[in-house]
Structure 1
Amino acid sequence: MTESYVNLGAVTAPSGVLVLGMAAWIDFWPKAGRALSERALEAAASGGGHLYEPAGGEPRPWSGEAIAVGAVANRPLPVRALTSPSPFDGEPSISILEVDLGLPWPEDRGVGPLVLGDLPVDRCGMVPGDAGVLDGFAGLDGESVDGLADVTYWGRYAEDVHAEFGGERVSQHPGGSGPRGWLDLPLAEAEAIAERLGTWLLEGPGKGLMIAVDAHTDFHRLNRASWSHPLLAGLAEVGGCPVLGIGWDPGDHSMRHRGERAYGQVYPATLESLAGESVLRWTIPPYSPHADDRSVS
């Protein structure tokens, strides 16, 4: 398959600072003691940098990491990806992620590139967006931002549940069948439906059905926006700004990025000059079957 660039959409950075962060950890930063935007602003002011914990030490595996850079504040910032075949199913997967920053390349940086640090691929996805907006990001365990939720179910007894309770097919991946369920329900109604399904399961087969209630957090809205995209990329408005969510196929992640930082699976983020403009580039080399085949238990 020939590599090709794909346009993923455009984000904005009204604070003048763009962050590329690990999706499952966006709301982690306040718990670490300082707001993401505060740390990102400092990094951007010095030309860009790598954010991680513990600050001043070595990045800790299985914790939040991000790259922060300056960006123009008054126009959209296009995001695109170069793809290469996935080792899992041969479908296109991201090998280079680029964000146009809308700023001229500084002459004092020479020809570049400027290495900012490296990032692991978060199996829950990656998020490029405005540093200030992401301070209010509702993450995996956050509250519904609109009072709504989605209910889905799947498994051995899904057809029996459908006959009893209904529920439309929810296609979560291009070409995939997906689970059944109900979208955009008031949170209390969604929880009540899930409770009824759970009661049916306990009073009947006892097991063999999976039930999920996904509150409309920012994390879930980005995930849902990516369902129809071949690269699992989708835009959602967060704090009045478009933010991009980028997911990973679990099979592709397990073969290509497994172990993340703990197993050395980290990839360089750089500032580059492209036609005299500054670009943030995150490079994930195409999969090599001869790479270290260590696995994670």
Structure 2
Amino acid sequence: MRLELSEPHINQQVILDSSSRFRVVMCGRRFGKSELSQVEMISNALKGYQVAYITPTYKLAKTFFEKLTQVIPFENNKSDLIINFPNKGSVEFFTGERLDNLRGRKFHLVVIDEASFIPNLEDGWLNSIRPTLTDYKGKALFLSTPKGKNYFYSLFMKGGEDWESFKFTTYDNPYIDKSEIDDARRQLPEAVFEQEYMANPMENAANPFGSNKINECIKPLSNLQPSYYGIDLAKSFDWTVIVGLDINGAVCYFNRFQKDWKQTKETILTIDRSKPVMIDS
């Protein structure tokens, strides 16, 4: 049984050649994750293996299913998103929004695409995905552009026996015009470019100004007394911040903390209540 697949570029081939059981690929946009996934899944299904492909949303899973059916001329089930191979191999598509659907299943290979963006990836991996690999001693391939230092980043840093991590930037795709990437570097905030193109996890990639601009605004606290206060109350596990401004509008008081609601109220009551206070809740 033969199928004509796209030829992997040199850096994709490095990942495909790895024999590690658990591979984690952190890469920039347009590195070629989709093509890499396609080659890996089809190659395994052609061996008669059961393969699962997981993506953050149902819409993405359906899109990739439709692309794969254009390459594979075999029986497929559009409602259940399954492609069946004549040799009993299969590729089945799942959404990261409903990982409980994996319970009771078993696979030789699971591909987790855009893993950084899957809700509750840690719980999903430990309780739903990992058990599906037990029967066959199956493999897992995680692929994603980073999204801060979340659980995908923890997997990337995991190391140890059976684990191997790979990091590639958009520049590492030989089919992408380097001048186009350079142009994006000039136009985008530094944090955004570093994360989306250079695959460097950034805590503040959503910041449109860049961390360097924020750092330029940080100055020593004024020695004058506060004339008024601003308070930004935390939601969930966020931070509460209290800022005091002097008569000239300069910051003279700053307190940032994570406490329970009782302790937060007690801290707020310690400020000078004779001064005006603006609270953002």
Tell me which interval the TM-score lies in, with the shorter structure as reference length: under 0.3
Q: More strand per residue: 1 or 2?
A: 1
Higher relative contact order (CA 8 A, sep 6+): 1
The structure number with the bigger radius of gyration is: 2
- Could you state the TM-score of these two structures normalised by the residue count of structure 2? 0.22
